[in-house]
Structure 1
Amino acid sequence: MNRSTRRTFLSTAMAVGVAGLAFSCAAAAQDAYPTRPITIIVPHAPGGAVDSTARLFADKLKDELKQSVVVENRAGASGMIGAAYVARAEPDGYTLYFNASIHAINPLLYKKDVKFDAVKDFTPISMLAQGALIFSVNPKVPARNAQEMAALLKSDPAKYTFVTSGFGSAGHLGAAQFLYDVKMAGDIPIVLYKGAAPALQDLVGGQVSAMMDPMLSSLPFVKAGKLRALAVTGHDRSPLLPDVPTMRESGFKDFEFYSWYGLWSPAKVPAPIVSKLEAASARIMASPDVKERLASLGFESAYKNSADFAKYIDSEMARYQKIIDAAHITVE
């Protein structure tokens, strides 16, 4: 072997060795994950349904992974500020993202404004929970069920308004679906509020008439008699409101609507890390105390692994697009 050939051989061997060492180090780091605190980005303000479920999950994830897990709120722009931050984060498993179904709705509404791809820029790790909405009205509204509410809207549309806690939220699309089903889409305004608290305040005060909203925020007002629940939007009645029928029972046979919650990471997070988080999520959501706590908030465990969650997101986005098109929901 001449000197030139020997030099080439040694250079190649060194490169292969370095590459192999780098691969071994990367694999070891993935096996050891996590070795430092994890941050879960919640793209909404503290205290709401997303934040509450995220903090419950984060507390359990800390125990599962034996590592500190911090929830960081990055609210604004219907959750898109926090989502954009995660989309740009290092795909190392130390920045995660917890959001509701609005993550799959935003790109269908804000086509020109979204600075990320809600599918391609994220890895869905696990779907975790879901919660039916309460269809409630101010007690002065003379409707006792969803069919009576539909009749009222048709008889005097100028008298009634719906309210939503956020543009593009599950409650917004649920209300839009109902108005479309009763052929009143476009005739009854859906007033946009920034958050559940001010929306519920005006609903209780009678400034607006009706709302679809997660149980976590609406249930206390129903229990206190400040709102009247007409129906729930899940497949089954809620144990928290056993006397309130579902929309299906109320004559809307195809009406089923949930706000669902899941965990994502930035795209291209190594598969071993995704698998570790996926397995931890499965154990957490199967825990009896987590199920009990979720039930007390009006949610239920609805775990799906990464592959099934990705398929579910695709199917939900297709369904949401149909509602948006049918109800002519546009960003003004």
Structure 2
Amino acid sequence: MPNIPFRSRRSCIKGIAAVVGGLAWLGSVQAQTQPDASYPSRPITIVVPHPPGGSVDGLARIFAVKLGEELKQSVIIDNRAGASGMVGAGVVARAAPDGYTLYLNASIHNINPLLYGKKMTFDAVKDFTPISGLAQGALIFSVNNDVPAKTVQEFVGVVKAAPNKYNFATTGFGSAGHLAIAQFAYEAGLSDLQVPIVLYKGGGPALTDLIGGQVHALADPMLSSLPMVKSGKIRALAVTGDKRSPLLPDVPTMREAGLKDFEFYSWYGLWAPAKLPEPILKKLDAAAQKVTTSASMKEQLENLGFESSYRNSADFAQYIQAETAKYGAIIKQANITAD
């Protein structure tokens, strides 16, 4: 063994340590910027905070199949309904941020804090990682067939003439349909007439009573309302998007029907618990992009009245913030409270 002076040996050891440390730092940086190759190594669960059969559940089941194919792993839907989606959201907020518990919901996730505030057991922003915006869908504004109105303006006229005779239905307190009805009443000049809004715990019961005439108007996602319109059981007066739906080409938008500032979409996104590791976030976001922008997924969504509206994690977070501000304005002008 060469006779290396003590100081030289110490310098050599320090040099080796520096190289090893540099390699460790480089590995750490790469781990933060590159997807974890081992993820996912077991089935993923997507919590849907609504019962089976609704628009959120329908979208989630389509997305889960495609996501599983993309990640080459099973993706399971877990319906945790209750409290306007807050039961399921609470489950996810308390879950480990390991990418194996995800959360798919609609815009109501960010409407709830505006209504329930400190009553909530979690923070809808701080306790979640926004992964991707997935899709959006206009609502159908429809009426019972016995309502003597074939257009939005005719409907406004008959309600103004007999406000005590008519009411609105909504599929859940604070839902997109609830806020769309509140916005419609405000822009149509019906707010001061105090037309009753009947709250239901889902689209099924609301549609049943709309068909039966117990309620007279409803704003509801196409997934549930479109079959009733197509079968002639209810009458569609308008859609709430900025353009006509190819599924209802003869039905005008609210803007075309005379409400110049009216545009309303229910949107859908994917979240995880807070502090999701960056490599897993990037892998899930990339997979969601491939799924939602694929031709087959777009076709499936369009057939159900949705449209693909992929937003990456950063854009989705900004979009949520802007939409929450819009919802807050509607809630304030309509004086909607949870008390």
Distance in 1, matches of 2:28 and 2:73, equals: 24
* Paired position in structure 2 for 1:5: none
Residue 195 in 1 paired to residue 202 in 2? yes
Residue 289 in 1 paired to residue 296 in 2? yes
User: Which of these two proteins has the greater Rg computed from alpha carbons?
Assistant: 2
* Paired position in structure 1 for 2:271: 264
SS of equivalent to 2:138: strand
* Paired position in structure 2 for 1:52: 58
SS of equivalent to 1:53: helix
Q: Give 1:131 deviation, angstroms.
A: 0.5
Distance in 1, matches of 2:284 and 2:28, equals: 21
The answer to whether the 8 A contact 1:41-1:86 is kept is: yes
1:125-173 CA-partner distances (Å, limit 9, x unpaired): 0000000000000010011111111111111100100000110000000
Q: Give 1:253 deviation, angstroms.
A: 1.2
User: What RMSD in Å do the two structures reach over aligned CA positions?
Assistant: 2.3
* Paired position in structure 1 for 2:72: 66
The answer to whether the 8 A contact 1:165-1:194 is kept is: yes
Distance in 2, matches of 1:309 and 1:149, equals: 36
SS of equivalent to 2:119: coil
Which of residues 305, 308, 325 is equivalent to 1:318?
325
Residue 119 in 1 paired to residue 125 in 2? yes
Q: Give 1:47 deviation, angstroms.
A: 1.0
* Paired position in structure 2 for 1:6: none
Distance in 2, matches of 1:147 and 1:281, equals: 41
SS of equivalent to 2:191: coil
* Paired position in structure 2 for 1:225: 232
Letter in 2 for 1:252: L
* Paired position in structure 2 for 1:150: 156
Q: Give 1:183 deviation, angstroms.
A: 2.3
SS of equivalent to 1:171: helix
* Paired position in structure 1 for 2:91: 85
Q: How many residues align?
A: 321
Which of residues 319, 334, 337 is equivalent to 1:327?
334
The answer to whether the 8 A contact 2:44-2:75 is kept is: yes
1:290-323 CA-partner distances (Å, limit 9, x unpaired): 1111111000000000000000000000000000
SS of equivalent to 2:253: coil
Q: Give 1:67 deviation, angstroms.
A: 0.9
Distance in 2, matches of 1:223 and 1:141, equals: 18
Q: Give 1:29 deviation, angstroms.
A: 8.9
SS of equivalent to 1:126: strand
Stretch of structure 1 that moved more, 179-188 or 159-168: 179-188
* Paired position in structure 2 for 1:32: 38
Letter in 1 for 2:334: A
Q: Give 1:23 deviation, angstroms.
A: 6.2
Q: Give 1:31 deviation, angstroms.
A: 3.0
Letter in 1 for 2:199: L
Q: Give 1:327 deviation, angstroms.
A: 0.3
The answer to whether the 8 A contact 1:284-1:290 is kept is: yes
Q: Give 1:112 deviation, angstroms.
A: 2.9
Distance in 1, matches of 2:68 and 2:266, equals: 25
The answer to whether the 8 A contact 1:31-1:272 is kept is: no
SS of equivalent to 2:105: strand
The answer to whether the 8 A contact 2:141-2:219 is kept is: yes
Distance in 1, matches of 2:51 and 2:308, equals: 23
Which of residues 227, 245, 258 is equivalent to 1:251?
258
Distance in 1, matches of 2:136 and 2:176, equals: 11
Which of residues 284, 299, 309 is equivalent to 2:316?
309
The answer to whether the 8 A contact 2:35-2:283 is kept is: no
Q: Give 1:30 deviation, angstroms.
A: 2.7
* Paired position in structure 2 for 1:3: none
The answer to whether the 8 A contact 1:30-1:270 is kept is: no
Question: Which residues of structure 1 form unaligned runs of 5+?
Answer: 1-8
* Paired position in structure 2 for 1:235: 242
Distance in 2, matches of 1:31 and 1:254, equals: 48
Distance in 1, matches of 2:283 and 2:94, equals: 22
Q: Give 1:251 deviation, angstroms.
A: 1.1
Distance in 1, matches of 2:157 and 2:324, equals: 30
SS of equivalent to 2:270: strand
Letter in 2 for 1:155: A
SS of equivalent to 1:110: helix
Distance in 2, matches of 1:182 and 1:215, equals: 22
Residue 133 in 1 paired to residue 139 in 2? yes
Distance in 1, matches of 2:306 and 2:139, equals: 10
1:156-200 CA-partner distances (Å, limit 9, x unpaired): 100100000110000000000011112222511110001100110
SS of equivalent to 2:130: strand
